[in-house]
Each structure stands twice: as structure tokens, then as C-alpha cells.
Amino acid sequence: METINGCTVIAASEGPEYLRFGPAEMDGTHVVEILAVPPGEPGPPLHLHPNTDEAFFVAEGEATFLLGDRELPLTSGGFVFVPRGVAHTVWNSGDSLARGLLIISPGDAEHGFVPVDSQ
């Protein structure tokens, strides 16, 4: 990772398993997380965020999202926007590493995690 004229650059060969930017690095507007999830690793329980929206981009591999009561499998290039207050979870549903980008907005709001009863 290096900084060039105020811009942070991470070359693909340096790709971390997990990296978080914000809100300090992004003036409070967003939090950005770079994720790499091994196959078979469980996702978080069904939950919602009362104060923040989440946007997920699947860069590599397969991920399955549970959005309310609907399962949605996505592969590389897929995108999901989850507005605040919507119950959701996501997991690596493939047989190889899944990489992705998570954007949380606003970055300076409390990113509360509220478990949701799935029954």
C-alpha cells in the first residue's frame, strides 16, 4: 500500500484479507472495507443497521445474500444495496475465496448491529 499525491493505492498483489478505510480517511462520508472470505466461513446472523446503509460489490467468487426472506446468489460483478433498517446477511456460498467491497454510509454514523429473529 502506498500514498500518491494524497491517494491510497493497493496493488492487486498486495491485496489484504481485510482492510478498512474511514471515517477519518474519508472525512466521515463513508467507511470502505475490502473483504476476502474463505469458503465455508459462516456469515453473520440475520441483522439490520438502523443508522447506516450498506453497498456490497462481489469482485471475485460467489456470495449468497439473504435480504429479508429472499435468498439471492451473486457472482463476480454482482452488486447489492441494503438500505438502513432492512434485515440481511451474506456468506461465501462458493468453493473458493470470495473477495468484495463493502461501503457503509454515512461513515460518521454509528454502524449498529441489531440481530433479527429469523422465525
Give, for all 119 residues of the chain, the pLDDT tens digit: 788 998 888 777 655 678 888 888 788 899 999 999 999 899 999 999 999 999 999 999 999 999 999 999 999 999 999 999 999 999 999 999 999 999 999 999 999 999 998 65
Residues in the chain, overall count? 119
In the prediction, which pLDDT does 30 show?
Answer: 93
Q: How far is CA 70 from CA 25, 73, 87, in A?
A: 35, 10, 10
In the prediction, which pLDDT does 17 show?
Answer: 77
Of 49, 55, 12, whose CA–CA distance to 33 is shortest? 55
> How far is Cα 27 from Cα 6, in angstroms, rounded to an integer?
13
In the prediction, which pLDDT does 10 show?
Answer: 77
Domains and CATH numbers, the chain: 35-110 (2.60.120.10)
Overall pTM surpassing 0.85 (yes/no):
yes
Let me know: does 88 contact 68? Beta carbons within 8 Å.
Answer: yes
In the prediction, which pLDDT does 82 show?
Answer: 98
